[in-house]
Amino acid sequence: MARVVNEIMLCSVLFVIYKALVASCQVGGGEGNDLEQVGVLSLDKNGGIIGEDDGVMKREREVSVGYPLVVSTWPFIKAVRAAWEAVRNGYSAIDAVVEGCSACEELRCDGTVGPGGSPDENGETTIDALLMDGATMEVGAVAAMRYVKDGIAAARLVMRHTRHTLLVGEMASRFAISMGLPGPADLSSPDSMDKWTKWKENSCQPNFWKNVSPSHGCGPYLPVDETSTATNGCNSTIGLPESCRINRHSHDTISMAVIDERRHIAVGTSTNGATFKIPGRVGDGPIAGSSSYADDEVGACGATGDGDIMMRFLPCYQVVESMRLGMEPKRAAEDAVLRIGRKYPDFVGAVFAVNRDGVHGGACYGWTFQYSVRSPNMQDVEVFTVLPLSVR
């Protein structure tokens, strides 16, 4: 009888150990854990996951597209093609990002990248750019750079030849020129100066001032008590008129991610900033974790939109860390965007997310967003459209 009891107890212990081992396998996938998540999954003929209530995961799984891979904000087709040709021909992810963003700077994409666009209040165009290596976590960036048109190339010089992360203003220009980039040069264009002249004729509206006097004219401005009666116009404290709000053609960025054949990841951003910004303003473009972020172990993110708001939330850092914890890219993107929308209902912006397996997704708030992808199983660049989210 005792022998039977002992055998029953032994079987019970072994069963408990077995359940514990199964549970530990199912929990795998966190940081520092080499175990893959396991479970009962059904696959369709294309390798997509078929779940009873998880159609989103299935669709995202089907866009896991292999290597190399290029993803970019907006339908900047020629820029994506330039990055694709570079990485397909053996360039590193870092250098492919530079090729892609440089093409956009040269093309002056949407008038918001490179020279000749987005004049500030003084009519001057300046450049912000960032480059990040997802293998080493090194970052090079320039902000409010004057007289030098090659923003992403200057960011690469900061990364490769200094121990700094960010250089700004005229000192960034001097550094870039000393390292061989062409300059100094006037970054304005007839189009940007015409835009600036019309803005001056419109009493410098819209602008980025608030709680100042005069409220409807050009400066110089003086501060007013922010507890006083709110003013009308674009420096109102009670919500912006539609004509004053950010839109794609006044405030935009190319943000690009590349995964090379060795599965190294890099991201880059280039922009000439917000149109009619206050001189000296720096947005999210050169800020790691805001406009873009990459980690070889996880994936990458790129962002575009109202950088003054977005940089307060570091949405791309949030996206990558959410993916590290197991979120699918699209859900991580949606989560990051909605965090901002809950605090700033008038916010306009978007992010794309891509994990290290090539699964990508996007999310936006306040506008319809498009992002571009090129992979080995595509004949050419494909553009994905994302509809805006709303805060519930």
User: Residue 164 contacts by C-beta under 8 Å, 6 or more apart in sequence?
Assistant: 158
Of 96, 66, 143, the closest CA to residue 268 belongs to 96
The alpha helices in 151-206, defined as continuous H runs, are 151-161, 169-178, 190-201
- The SS3 call for residue 50 is strand
pLDDT of residue 36: 28
Distance (Å, whole) CA 215 – CA 229? 12
- Which positions are annotated as active-site residues? 253
Task: Return the number of other C-beta atoms located less than 10 Å from residue 310's C-beta.
Answer: 28
pLDDT of residue 241: 52
pLDDT of residue 224: 95
Spans in the chain with pLDDT lower than 50? 1, 4-5, 8, 10, 13-62, 229-233, 235-238, 243, 248
Beta strand 139-145 with 166-168: parallel, antiparallel or unpaired?
parallel
Q: Which two tokens stand for residue 177?
A: 């020129």
- The SS3 call for residue 321 is helix
Which residue(s) pair with 306 in the sheet?
none
pLDDT of residue 392: 75
pLDDT of residue 238: 45
> Scanning the structure block, which residue is given the tokens 């699964």?
359
